Amino acid sequence: MKILGQKFFNRPVVKVSEELLGKYLVRKIGNREVAYKITEVEAYDGEKDLASHSSKGRTPRTEVLYGEAGYFYVYLCYGMYWMLNIVTEKKDYPSAILIRGIDGFDGPGKLTRKLKIDRKLNGKSAEPASKLWVEDRGEKIDSKQVKKTPRIGVAYAGPIWSKKKYRFVLSKF
């Protein structure tokens, strides 16, 4: 078991996204620690990516995206669902990975509800001190188990960015 830190996340977002499948999202809630295998993610690749919040430039909301890799970007979607993202790549390059699914919970809103994730984690480092982190438990994922598709709900990004295969799904394991 190895906690994934800044070194793991400080790489190209698409590469990190694919490699994040099969790792474990670990949450400490009170005295209890729970861990779920990550089964679905989406990559958002900087200001040029019209599906990314950073495509509108640096704002108070997106400031964390421009920071160091390995930090959480958490925002409210539709006024009701918290979305959990992990910042990747080098400082000042605003890319992140949306965690869309974990074993047993498909959908980013369902997983954040299950793990009691909200805005309080925005800007926190993915490490045990924040009570939310990612672990590599040594499981090998065969590339044949990874399905690549366009991201969900990003038609507004236009014909090029909405069709990029930046969604990665782990086939049943």
> Rounded distance, CA 156 to CA 134, Å?
31
Q: Mean of the per-residue pLDDT values for the chain?
A: 96
Mean pLDDT of 137-143: 93
- Domains of the chain: residue spans and CATH: 2-170 (3.10.300.10)
Mean pLDDT of 35-64: 97
Check residue 79 and give its pLDDT. Answer: 77
Token look-up 């779920």 returns 36
127 DSSP assignment: B
Residue 12 burial by Cβ neighbours in a 10 Å radius (0-12, 13-18, 19+) = middle
> Rounded distance, CA 123 to CA 11, Å?
19
Check residue 171 and give its pLDDT. Answer: 87
Phi-psi region of 48 (alpha: psi -120 to 50; beta: other; left: phi over 0): alpha
List CB contacts of 31: < 8 A, sequence separation 6 or more. none
Check residue 110 and give its pLDDT. Answer: 95
- pLDDT 10s digits, 50-97: 999 999 999 999 999 999 999 999 999 987 899 999 999 999 999 999
Check residue 33 and give its pLDDT. Answer: 96
pTM of the model: 0.95
Residue 173 has pLDDT above 70, yes or no: no
**CB 123 within 8 Å of CB 68:** no
**To the nearest whole percent, how much of the chain has pLDDT over 70?**
99
